[in-house]
Amino acid sequence: MLHSPIVTAGPGSVELPRSPAPIVKANDLLFVHFERPDLDRAEQYLRDFGLIVVSKSDKELFFRGTGSRPYVYRVTRGPRARFVGLGLSVPSSVRAAPDPARDSAQRPEPDRAGERHPASRARAA
């Protein structure tokens, strides 16, 4: 299955193959993270678009929108402007794909409240 063929030029115009059986599907975009060399300029630009500063240091800025999320946009000072990453949400019913390295480690044991802790920590408590 491919992206919609309606877009013929510009960003998103390259059709990319999609997995017929993805491991997990995100259901929400939580935040984006960029680097910018000039945080003051980035701050002014994002404020002009209505974002609100929630945390500010000489190394990074966090902005929120009008919703309930603590932040939706993170800007870190860097040598050049670039996209760093993003945060995605997946449904809580989704289980992680098998990881041989993780699965070979000792499995956590549930405590009386149903929470999971490493077996050694659960026995020591």
CATH (domain of 71): 3.10.180.10
Q: What is the pLDDT of residue 18?
A: 81
For the entire predicted model, the pTM comes to: 0.61
Tell me: pLDDT of 23 over 90. no
Q: What is the pLDDT of residue 26?
A: 87
Q: Which domain holds residue 82?
A: 24-90
Tell me: pLDDT of 124 over 50. no
Number of domains in the chain: 1
d(Cα 36, Cα 77) in Å, to the nearest integer?
5
Tell me: pLDDT of 70 over 70. yes
Q: What is the pLDDT of residue 8?
A: 63
Nearest Cα residue to 57 out of 69, 74, 34, 79: 74
DSSP 77: E
Is position 114 within any domain? no
| Average pLDDT of the residues in 43-65 | 97
Confidence of residue 5 (pLDDT cuts 50, 70, 90): low
Run of H or E including 18: none
Is position 76 within any domain? yes
More confident call, 78 vs 90: 78
Q: Cβ distance 95 to 85 under 8 Å?
A: no
Is position 81 within any domain? yes
Is position 117 within any domain? no
Instruction: Supply φ then ψ for residue 39, to 5 degrees.
Output: -70, -35
Q: Return the SS3 of 112.
A: coil
Is position 29 within any domain? yes
